[in-house]
Amino acid sequence: MRKNRFITTLMITCGTLAFALQLGMQDTYAATRSMNVNEWLQQCRSICVKVTQEKAVYSGKGCPTSYFDKRFKRSRYGKRTRLHCADYVSWCLQRYKVIPTGQRFWVKGQKIKGQNAKQIKKSKKIQRIMIAKKGIPASQLVQRTGTKSLKKGDMVSVVRKTGSGHHIQIYAGTDENGKMIFYMVSHIATMGGKDTRLDLTKMTTQSRDPYSKDPRIAMIIRVKGLKYIDFFKVTTTAGDHGTIDETRNIKWGGSGTFHITPDDGYRISTFKVDGKIVKISKTAKSYTIRNVKATHRIDVTFEKDPNAPEKPDTPEQPSQPDESGRPSSSDAQNPDSDKTDNGEKDNGEADSASESKSVGVGGATGNDALEEDGE
């Protein structure tokens, strides 16, 4: 009896460890969630990269596994990995921790189908938005405002003009030319049609759907709580004796270089990003902040540079005569500039000087002043 209990306990323990190990493998590709729409799309694109690296093909049969993890390898499926649009969108939601690992669904018009359809419908992390049974062109929905508008990051169920169809893809916003972009798995995103390898460029740059050039959207599935912020402010401050480039906005995931200019004879004393000291050279000319995904603050202070060379004294420049041969106006400040060629002062200037010296308090002459002092 004791032996049987021991074996039973051992089997339960091993089973628990195996299950935990399996979960760990499944979470290998799990992403952290900042709830920014750009990060959500980045995760969706990373799955496109993964499936093309594994030389996956588009197939209406879908992938044998409902999990997206490191086990999605060609070697596991006889060197033939395959998936369809529902696999792709389900894996995106799993990776972003919107739905549990292993759940999968597919769409048909305004309906959610599949063995996990009930769980998906009850999820508090996604919102289903009904648009129209026969769909409305994406170009019209993107112009709307409010809940029934098309927003960056939305998963869209698209249909034909008749309302038939079962395809889902992800709206990724517009490119620099204003062209709408969708991420998808479809025969139009392959190298040569159905059952051929998926192409990364075609998966991430499509502006249409399998049915039409302007996708007709019947239903939108939206991740709740996404933040639609594309630019973040990087605030800068500088102490005395130097400057740094002014505050600016930087696009999500982008970089920004800020130039630092100390005054002559000064160098960087402290450099902080978000209140934390960053070690940079005391004589650095610039600082680049990379992969910006939130607001930041840069503070820099300056100090005397002990290695700065001392400024030499500037010698006085001798006066130069003008074209007429006379001394320049600066000679008026020279006490000897009023002398004649013989070295003596002009008589008129001398008399004026002697008179000015004899003037006392109240304008009295020299003798009067002496008398007043003697009283």
What digits encode the pLDDT tens for the residues 244-256?
999 999 999 999 9
pLDDT tens digits, one per residue of 32-49: 567 899 999 999 999 999
157: Cβ contacts below 8 Å, ≥ 6 apart = 107, 108, 109, 110, 166, 167, 168, 217, 218, 219, 220, 221
Q: What residues contact residue 338 under an 8 Å CB cut-off, 6+ apart?
A: 345, 346, 349
**Hey, what are 274's tokens?**
């978000």
- Percentage of the chain beyond pLDDT 70 is 72
pLDDT tier, 21 (very low <50, low <70, confident <90, very high otherwise): very low
Q: What's the pLDDT at 130?
A: 97
Question: For 333-348, what is the mean pLDDT?
Answer: 46
Taking 70 as the threshold, does the pLDDT of residue 349 lie above it? no
Higher pLDDT, 53 or 356: 53
Q: Is 138 exposed, middle or buried (0-12, 13-18, 19+ CB in 10 A)?
A: buried
146 contact partners, CB below 8 Å, separation of at least 6: none
At a CB cut-off of 8 Å and minimum separation 6, what does 243 contact?
A: 260, 261
Amino acid 236: pLDDT: 98
pLDDT tens digits along 94-134? 989 999 988 999 999 999 999 899 999 999 999 999 999 99
Q: What is the mean pLDDT of residues 54-59?
A: 91
Residue 296 pLDDT > 90: yes
pLDDT tens-digit map of 180-191? 999 999 999 999
Q: Specify the pTM.
A: 0.70
Of 82-86, 137-141, 157-161, the range with the lowest mean pLDDT is 82-86
For the chain, list the domains and their CATH numbers.
25-223 (no CATH), 231-304 (2.10.70)
pLDDT tens track for 60-104: 888 887 876 656 777 777 677 889 999 999 999 998 999 998 899
Token output for 64: 């044998």
C-alpha–C-alpha distance, residues 140 and 148, integer Å: 11
Model confidence band, residue 370 (pLDDT cutoffs 50, 70, 90): very low
